[in-house]
Amino acid sequence: MSEHDGAPPIAGMKRSTEPATSAGPEETMPHVLVAGKLHPSGIALLRDAPEVTFDYVEEVSEESYAPFIAAADGLVIRTQPLSAPIIAQADRLKIVSRHGVGYDAVDLLALNGRGIALAIVGDVNSVSVAEHAMLLLLACAKKLLRADASVREGNWTWRNRLEATELSGKRLLIMGFGRTGRQLARYAGVFGMEIRAYDPYLQAAGWPEGPVAPVDDLAVGLGWADAISVHVPKAACPTIGAGELAAMKPSAIVVNTARGGVVDEAALLEALRQGRISAAGLDVFDDEPPLADHPLFGLDQVILTPHIAGLTAECAERMAISSVQNVLDFFSGTIDPALIVNKEQLNANS
């Protein structure tokens, strides 16, 4: 398929080499750039699509895919940035499909200015993320790091301190009651937790039927909860800052599987150090990967994972297929409008 003469070699880059199978000159086909390593099922979907050509750059960085953006009509992108300067070089670009549901690293204003659609995947990762949130809740409640260390260090008597607690009968506040939040509610309900949720946008649109009641006042909900799990988009300011942490019980657990910056890391660190909350489970960070001397690393009441809540083998395959299918559907005119983030701006510019 497409080759760009004189393009600099890039580590981790792959290009399709099969001849075009559809009728007509290759130049008339949409050309897709895949930026970042995808599950093989996603690449197979592109390879089997006769109506497109594609380039595949496995390395996850803006620099690695930048030399190929000018030839792309569609872009499938992982977690690396898509900045305004790169978008300015993409003269042919019509659709960007994120391999996931977040798009913090994408300059949406620059896409809107060019009339380029931004698509996200549908409900492909709610099970994986909700399972991970449940894992972090359990690990925090059971003081898993301290328990593990006690065995490895020969401190068998640590268990007599009775630091581990049960989730059964405890109160869980879910912040953000979308698909992932609702899936977590089902899991936590099986563990016997009392569950409420805070989601003013959903509450205004119409609260879903079920046993989970909405919380009108966030401060009241935070004070009520024994555990808080965050499932909201990143905003201009942290959703959980010093004020929100001050509203929590000293025994509270905070879990964040949403986005770095949703929870104020500095405020969280101080709350943990001062014993104003009990434990935290974090899958996401302000800077990823965090530096080796990050102060949270020294706290054994904190469970840390490397932004893997949605990175199960099953979920990776679903995201790869869905993100590629969005591009194919866009060019065939069949994409689900609900998956287009900026459809209102596109309609306004049309």
Catalytic residues: 259, 288, 307
| Element of type H or E holding 268 | helix 265-273
| Element of type H or E holding 303 | strand 302-304
What is the Cα–Cα distance from 198 to 240, expressed in whole angstroms? 13
* Residues paired with residue 304 on neighbouring β-strands, in sequence order: 282
Sheet holding 53-57, edge to edge: 13-15, 53-57, 31-35, 74-77, 95-98, 117-119
Using CA atoms, how far residue 29 sits from 32, 171, 327, in Å, is 9, 55, 13
The bridge status of strand 74-77 relative to strand 117-119 is unpaired
What is the Cα–Cα distance from 196 to 254, expressed in whole angstroms? 15
Specify the 3-state DSSP secondary structure of 256. Answer: strand
Q: Tokens 């489970």 — which residue?
A: 281
Q: Tokens 């912040």 — which residue?
A: 175
